[in-house]
Structure formats: C-alpha cells, structure tokens
C-alpha cells in the first residue's frame, strides 16, 4: 500500500504546523450526522468507507447526508455504478430530497476528476469501479482515490458490500488506506432500527448509535431510545423471530419471501436471519439468488 507519505526526521509535535484544512470542517447542520464523523464535522479530503448487507440502508443514509450538506451550501454528489440516475431520482423523490447531485460513472479516472468540483462525493460502490489500466488492483485504485481526495480537499465516501458472513467484499487494503470505517447493521431488537458504528476514525472519536429508519428515510433528529425494546430477562425479538423460522414446516420451502410474509419483516432482515442460521448450521442454504432455499440439516 502506497499513500504518498513523506519520510521525516524526529521532531516535537509542538513544532509541527497543522494545516488549515483540519479546522475547516464541513457541518451538515444535523447533530447526529456530525457526531458520526467524530463530533467536529467532516474533514475536507477525508476518505471513509460505509459497509452493510444489501437492503440495510446505505444509499438512503448517504443520500440524506448529501442533501444536508447541499442545504448548507456545499457541492455534494452521489456517483453510482449500481443504479441509473433515474433510479436514484426516484429514491430521492420518496425521501423528499431535491438538492443532491447524482450521476452514473464507474471509471476511476473520471471520478477523481469530479472531486475537483465537489466538496463531498459518494462512490457506490467500490466493486463497480473500472480501470483503463487492467493491471490496476484494489491497492492502486484506493491509493488513487485517497490521493485525489487529499489534493482536491473533497471528502469521499466509498460504499462496500458485505458478504453473508459479515465481511466486506474486496481487499483489506481498502479499509486500512482510508481515514474512517463506518458499518450499518439491523438492530437485534427491532428491524426498523439500524446500528451505526465507526471502527476507526483518524480525525475524530469513535461513534456508536441506533437510528430509526422508515420508507421516508432515517430519522436524524436524535439517536433512537431502545429502552422500550430490551429488558434483562426478556428474550430478544430477533431470537423469537429465529425460533419462528426454525419452527416452520416443509413443504413449502423456506425462502426469503416466505419469511417476509409469515414473520412480517423486511427482506433485508429476513436475509440476515437466514444467513445467520445457515452460519450456525441450523439451516442449510441450497441455491443462490432468488432461487435460494433453506433446508433443515438431515440430522435435525
């Protein structure tokens, strides 16, 4: 991994001049969001990753943050290789967003050029990026993005996808090279709440919180109060839902659609529970994609 850092001799920290950019944080005007980036706001030129399973709410949160920054006068945009601009516009209409800029682009060189005109840019996702130089790998690509972000002072967020085991897709060099890593997951107690946590932040303090999500987006007015969902002796809602899946009879096959309909949960929540039960060897997954079914082990 090459991040263009220059070698230096030992010097007292009091003698090092801190660049002005460290004190020009971008504020969204939303306390919860500013806390997510360390409490002081978003540092120009910082690069962060956002990882979560499919359907958990990555795009929704980033579009809302882009809109908040645009409302503060910043140039904020969403670059997608996953969807068309029409799809994004439709999502923004549902969320009530009007000011965020969107485009479809996957070429790393073109995305780096965009940074010169933007203050904040989301790249969705790293897996869709393409390079004219076929020899460019994950390390070269992330190094190019980080270098371009620092030079242009454009803060960049990179979307990473998670596997069924909870790991992100791509080389670990990606998360090591960036300044901040953020993860979103479905809350154990309520499938309309999301746990949001930073695993590192070079320019701020760690963050952990729970936000409520609905069809109209995240409630960013305050962190969710989860006290109503938990007691010391009560069995968690998620455990009860898992027990309901394990009590299902076959046929019909156990599928994501069946879990959604019978348990009245979201598709993302159903997928997460089924993958967890598969990992724990309580169910066996057969097939992939929309044709996947889950079976009980033969020795059950």
Q: 13-227 and 237-295: same fold?
A: no
- pLDDT in the model for residue 276: 85
- Percent of all residues in the chain with a pLDDT value above 90, rounded to a whole number: 63
Comparing 252 with 133, the larger pLDDT belongs to 252
- pLDDT in the model for residue 116: 97
- pLDDT per residue as tens digits for the range 134-182: 667 888 999 999 999 999 999 999 999 876 555 676 778 999 999 999 9
Query: Domain locations in the chain?
Result: 13-227, 237-295
Comparing 234 with 39, the larger pLDDT belongs to 39
**Band of pLDDT at residue 191, cut at 50, 70 and 90:** confident
Question: Residue 232: is its pLDDT beyond 50?
Answer: no
* β-sheet with 120-124: strand ranges across: 101-104, 76-80, 120-124, 155-161, 47-52, 180-186, 193-201, 208-214, 217-218
- Please check whether residue 178 is in contact with residue 264, taking contact to mean a CB–CB distance below 8 angstroms: no
Three-state secondary structure of the chain: CCCCCCCCCCCCHHHCCCCHHHHCCECCCCHHHHHHCCCCCECCCCEEEEEECCCCCHHHHHHHHHHHHHHCCCCEEEEECCCCHHHHHHHHHHHCCCCCEEEECCEHHHHHHHHHHCCEEEEECHHHCECCCCCCCHHHHHHHHHHHHHHHCCEEEEEEEECCCCCECCCCHHHHHCCEEEEEEECCCCCCEEEEEEEEECCCCCCEEEEEEECCEECCCCCCCCHHHCCCCCCCHHHHHHHHHHCCCCCCCECHHHHHHHHCCCHHHHHHHHHHHHHCCCCEEECCHHHCEEECCCCC
Beta bridge partners of 48: 157, 180
Considering only the top CATH level, what class is 237-295? mainly alpha
Q: Compute the average pLDDT of residues 235-246.
A: 79
Question: Residue 290: is its pLDDT beyond 80?
Answer: no
- pLDDT per residue as tens digits for the range 218-228: 999 988 877 66
- pLDDT in the model for residue 15: 95
Give the distance from CA 15 to its chain's centroid.
38
Q: Compute the average pLDDT of residues 25-45.
A: 93
Considering only the top CATH level, what class is 13-227? alpha beta
Number of neighbouring beta carbons within 10 Å of residue 168? 21
Residue 55 Cα distances to 173, 213, 225, 257, angstroms: 25, 12, 23, 14
**Band of pLDDT at residue 186, cut at 50, 70 and 90:** confident
Comparing 166 with 81, the larger pLDDT belongs to 81
**Band of pLDDT at residue 300, cut at 50, 70 and 90:** low
**Band of pLDDT at residue 246, cut at 50, 70 and 90:** very high
């Amino acid at each position: 991994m090459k991040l263009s850092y220059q070698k230096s001799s030992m010097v007292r920290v009091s003698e090092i001049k801190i660049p002005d950019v460290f004190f020009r944080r971008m504020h969204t005007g939303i306390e919860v969001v500013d806390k997510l980036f360390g409490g002081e706001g978003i540092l120009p030129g910082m690069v962060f990753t956002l990882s979560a399973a499919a359907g958990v709410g990555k795009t929704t949160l980033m579009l809302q943050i882009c809109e908040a920054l645009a409302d503060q006068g910043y140039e904020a945009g969403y670059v997608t290789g996953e969807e068309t601009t029409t799809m994004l516009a439709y999502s923004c209409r549902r969320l009530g967003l009007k000011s965020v800029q969107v485009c479809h682009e996957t070429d790393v060189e073109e995305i780096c050029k965009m940074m010169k005109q933007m203050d904040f840019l989301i790249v969705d996702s790293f897996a869709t990026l393409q390079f004219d130089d076929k020899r460019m790998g994950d390390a070269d690509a992330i190094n190019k993005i980080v270098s371009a972000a620092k030079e242009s002072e454009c803060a960049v967020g990179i979307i990473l996808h998670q596997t069924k085991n909870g790991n992100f897709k791509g080389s670990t060099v990606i998360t090591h090279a960036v300044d901040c890593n953020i993860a979103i997951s479905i809350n154990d107690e309520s499938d309309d709440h999301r746990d949001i946590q930073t695993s590192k932040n070079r320019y701020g303090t760690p963050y952990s919180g729970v936000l409520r999500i609905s069809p109209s987006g995240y409630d960013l007015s305050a962190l969710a109060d989860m006290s109503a969902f938990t007691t010391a002796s009560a069995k968690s809602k998620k455990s009860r839902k898992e027990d309901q899946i394990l009590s299902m009879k076959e046929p019909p096959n156990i599928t994501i659609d069946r879990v959604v309909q019978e348990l009245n949960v979201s598709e993302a929540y159903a997928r997460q529970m089924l993958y967890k039960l598969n990992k724990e060897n309580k169910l066996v997954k057969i097939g992939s994609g929309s044709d996947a079914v889950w079976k009980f082990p033969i020795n059950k």
